[in-house]
Structure 1
Amino acid sequence: MENKNNKVGVLLANLGTPEAPTAQAVKAFLSEFLHDQRVVDMTRWLWCPLLHGIILPVRSPKVAKLYQTVWMEEGSPLMVYSKRQKAALERETGLPVELGMTYGNPSILTAVEALKARGCNKILVLPLYPQYSRTTTAAVFDKIAKSLKQTPELPEFRFVNHYYSEDSYIEALAQSVESHWAEHGKPDMLLCSYHGIPKRYADNGDPYQTHCLGTTEKLVVRLSSDVPLKTTFQSRFGREEWLQPYTDKTLERLPIEGVKRLDVITPAFSADCLETLEEISEQCHESFMEAGGESFRYIPCLNDSPAHIDMMKLLVERNTKGW
């Protein structure tokens, strides 16, 4: 008898976002996110009292106010762009595509169940993190395993580990930069700001830093421009050392070194979110101008641009071949 559930589906995975720009919603999201030992590996009896007693009560209202500055009419920017990516990829590939977030909703389990309900027993998991990290890509893998622990029959899975050096990804980044330069002119420097991780994670084998540097190197070759590119790391949290150079400290120094016109791109983010729209486009903009800069321009994430969707389509086609 023919199995009606014999179809390939795609699970697009990203980090997640609060459901509303309120202290309560942000607290719920941050609690789930910061409980993950992939993200914070401190001993639980030390970390949990600190998290619940100090960090969540203090940070949640502050972060909620920041979300309010970037919230879109349709919702959180990350969710809005992720839904657009899902719809575009499904349209371009003709395959069932569902969106699942590591933290918050729609959950990974919800996405898997939706694909199964659409007849899919083979699922390609595409985490939208170009550069692999234990804190992001591996956390998706963990969540899938945990979510399906009680499921009697598992679908077949294939998992995209990273795509930081894919020609189609570099091409999409380069096109976004070149389009920006064609409209606004070239800067003195293009800063590639990646989300940071604790340096200790990289020292213990996380390849994220190597992947980030690899992305910048390939972008330098593809752009073939006289504009210098520099790699920095943003969004550090806590007191321990994170990957350097730090974005914020670099921005304070660049005008003194003669860089007055700066463009910033965030290649580790597949969709605009709080860390790009508020931290980079607002906070970092202000820091650079106060340090003596003359022009600061943020180049948006790839979001649902045609080149980005084409890249995803190529990844899907290659990783589902022969299935």
Structure 2
Amino acid sequence: MVSSEKTAAACPAHAPSNHPEIAPSRIGVLLANLGTPDATDYWSMRRYLSEFLSDKRVVDHPRWKWQPVLQLIILSFRPFKSGAAYRTIWNMEKNESPLLTITRDQKDAISARLRAQYGDQVMVDFCMRYGNPSTKSRVREMVAAGCDKILFFPLYPQAAGATSFTANDAFFRALSEETWQPAARTVPAYFDHPAYIKALAASVQAGYDALSDKPDILVVSYHGMPKRYLMQGDAYHCQCQKTTRLLREELGWEKDKITTSFQSIFGREEWLKPYTVEEVTRLAESGKKKIAVIAPAFSADCIETLEEIKEEIRESFEHAGGEQFTYIPCLNDNADHIEALCTVIDENLGGWVS
């Protein structure tokens, strides 16, 4: 928690004795991930899904048209289905989602690394775009702790309107409510950063090394988005394709050993293709009986990887005749990933710290 990192506030030098105490100047690094429900019951899921699906960056239909459908139809049944899915992956020991557990672990590891480098000059915390801890609450705590500069870091390697940019929106809204507003920076997409690509390749190599029978092909599955977003100028699709290419080059593989697809389709319109659930079926039917799947768009394992890939997509592959399905986990809090994230942070703190 931020409160455990606070330095004692004091009255400024040369100020009157009745001047409000002010915390020493610090720099905040605020990590941001997608979000998580507080619990798996109907009302917790409904609150979370309502916030998520009401975001214009996620569903851009006119509010007057979308909200009645969302509130009266979708949220009448979707929380039950989503809650059941979350219960299959829930961290029962801590009574929270794996995404929350992993993001906290990432924060702790990054905080330790930056503290060793910068001392108390830099403090680190995390927030969620939807659910808790909220972006607003974390910004408020950082400002109260003396942060006059905040580096906001959406943990999405490839940037998109429904991920990095809506996280930035929430950050800027939180800043707009502060009486005294700190200087702010946001970290851009880091999908082609050499440290990230090396960490990604190392995780693939480790996954393959642990298998006696090597996969015929690696499926690189990214979260999907409506195709029209690409046509409107969103660079996400291009960044995903480049991530796959850079990963293949780092591994030194031929093109036929790796393929790109997109998952988590929602609604009736066309999304980026090929769809992962259909691609794994096609691979199995074409003779690729052993596959591995990795999800580089996620910095931490979550419902889309632990339930959708490891259960739904696996079932599609095996139903089509697939024999060996290997899921390579997200980079989570492994050492290579933490070092890569810290390298990106160091670069974006340029001019703020020595």
TM-score (norm 2): 0.89
CA distance in 2, matches of 1:314, 1:295: 36
CA distance in 1, matches of 2:105, 2:310: 22
Residue of structure 1 in register with 2:102 after alignment: 81
Counterpart of 1:59 (choices 67, 71, 78) is 78
- CA drift of 1:146 comes to 1.9
Per-residue CA deviations over 1:100-123 (Å, capped at 9, x if unaligned) read: 111111011111122223321111
Question: 1:255 touches 1:288 (CA, 8 Å); kept in 2?
Answer: yes
Question: 2:152 touches 2:187 (CA, 8 Å); kept in 1?
Answer: yes
Residue of structure 2 in register with 1:25 after alignment: 44
Question: 2:221 touches 2:263 (CA, 8 Å); kept in 1?
Answer: yes
- The 1:315–1:132 alpha-carbon spacing in structure 2 relative to 1, beyond 3 Å, is same
The percentage of aligned residue pairs carrying the same residue is 46
Residue of structure 2 in register with 1:196 after alignment: 224
Residue of structure 2 in register with 1:118 after alignment: 145
CA distance in 2, matches of 1:146, 1:159: 14
Q: Structure 2: any 5+ residue segments left out of the alignment?
A: 1-11, 14-21, 116-121
Question: 1:5 touches 1:116 (CA, 8 Å); kept in 2?
Answer: no
Residue of structure 1 in register with 2:90 after alignment: 71
Per-residue CA deviations over 1:24-83 (Å, capped at 9, x if unaligned) read: 111110000111101111011110000011111111101100000000122201000000
- CA drift of 1:157 comes to 0.6
Say what the alpha-carbon RMSD is for the aligned residues.
1.3
TM-score (norm 1): 0.97
Would you say 1:257 and 2:286 are equivalent positions?
A: yes
Question: 1:173 touches 1:219 (CA, 8 Å); kept in 2?
Answer: yes
Per-residue CA deviations over 1:162-190 (Å, capped at 9, x if unaligned) read: 10000111111111111111111420000
CA distance in 2, matches of 1:71, 1:93: 30
**Structure 2 counterpart of 1:43, which letter?**
P
Any idea what SS the aligned residue of 1:148 has?
helix
Counterpart of 2:316 (choices 287, 300, 308) is 287
Residue of structure 2 in register with 1:215 after alignment: 243
CA distance in 2, matches of 1:223, 1:200: 32
CA distance in 2, matches of 1:5, 1:202: 45
Question: Bigger radius of gyration, 1 or 2?
Answer: 2
Residue of structure 1 in register with 2:173 after alignment: 146
CA distance in 2, matches of 1:162, 1:5: 31
Residue of structure 1 in register with 2:269 after alignment: 240
1:88-99 counterparts in 2 under 5 A? 88-94=109-115, 95-99=122-126
Question: 1:13 touches 1:99 (CA, 8 Å); kept in 2?
Answer: yes
Any idea what SS the aligned residue of 1:103 has?
strand
CA distance in 1, matches of 2:141, 2:348: 21
Instruction: State how many pairs are aligned.
Output: 323
Residue of structure 2 in register with 1:231 after alignment: 260
Which portions of structure 1, spanning 4 or more consecutive aligned residues, are displaced by more than 3 angstroms?
1-5
CA distance in 1, matches of 2:41, 2:279: 32
Would you say 1:16 and 2:35 are equivalent positions?
A: yes
Q: Structure 1: any 5+ residue segments left out of the alignment?
A: none
